Amino acid sequence: MRYFLHIGYDGSNYKGWQKQKNTQNTVQEVIEKKVSQIFKKEMTIYGCGRTDSGVHASQYIMQINVDQAPDFDLKYRLNKNLPDNIAVFEIREVDDNHNCRYHAIARTYDYFVHWNKDPVLMRYSAFYEGIQLDYDLMNKATDLIRNTRDFRPVCKRPDVYDNTLCNVSECRIFVNEQEGRLRFTITSNRFLRGMVRLCVFFLLKVGTGALSLSDFEKILTQEIQSEEKQPAFPNGLFLSKVQYPFITFQDSHQLIKMLKLGLEE
């Protein structure tokens, strides 16, 4: 039997999602240990994709395989045993051939920025003190991203992919000038390593006037290369939605709902 688990996590103290040989304290590693303890045997869990060190998720989908349906409340048991920075929201049975990674048709990331110091936001929003932004230019830059097909210029490791093509269906910014906050949201059928944080880096460069809109377009079309390419801070980034053609998950993570307040239509 196969189950998809809708989880959320605060990635601040984790070295990303994926378990690695030379890296300890990843989200996958922590959950895998707890699942193995609960089922009293070695268990392997699989995730819908990677998130980098310090990045959060409000809707991350993982899968587990079991021989038979558990005779206990698995959601309750997991939440009781997992640390406070990881929560299980839903557990749904799926067909054995459904794969949480390869059958996802779209993922959405939200990136939060604030420029007035606020201790409540510091953990979950990237602080760029006193930054002055041209929102009109940034909106035009998001149009350029949405119309791009090959995202090699905003990929940290293009060499690990057979191709760097992505179909971006949504790419927008929402601004609350009164609160000094901004949300960048992007939806695509796939994402490359570092892609969202590099997009934010270039958007902020355009917004501050450090990079012209025409040069950003030339970078995206690979007419020129950027001399500087530094991913935006990880703590502002959330994986916020994963979509499948055969199942829909609830939008149940309260933290990202609060962060979106004032940054929606």
Neighbouring CB atoms inside 10 A of 34's CB total: 19
Burial class (CB in 10 A: 0-12, 13-18, 19+), 2: middle
**Marked catalytic residue, from 52, 95, 96, 162:** 52
- Domains of the chain (ranges; CATH) run 2-103 (3.30.70.580), 106-239 (3.30.70.660)
DSSP 120: T
Within 13 Å, how many C-alpha atoms sit on residue 123's CB side? 11
Tokens for 132, please give them.
Answer: 């002055």
Q: Which stretches does DSSP call E strand in the chain?
A: 2-9, 46-47, 56-65, 86-94, 106-114, 126-127, 168-176, 181-188, 237-243
Q: What is the pTM of this model?
A: 0.96
Tokens for 7, please give them.
Answer: 């989880």
What does the alpha-carbon distance between residue 187 and residue 240 come to, in Å, rounded to a whole number? 10
Tokens for 34, please give them.
Answer: 């707890």
Burial class (CB in 10 A: 0-12, 13-18, 19+), 200: buried
Q: For residue 52, indicate whether it is catalytic.
A: yes
- Along the 265 residues of the chain, how does pLDDT read in single tens digits? 999 999 999 999 999 999 887 767 999 999 999 999 999 999 999 999 999 999 999 999 999 999 999 999 999 999 999 999 999 999 999 999 999 999 999 999 999 999 999 999 999 999 999 999 999 999 999 999 999 999 999 999 999 999 999 999 999 999 999 999 999 999 999 999 999 999 999 999 999 999 999 999 999 999 999 988 999 999 999 999 999 999 999 986 788 999 999 999 8
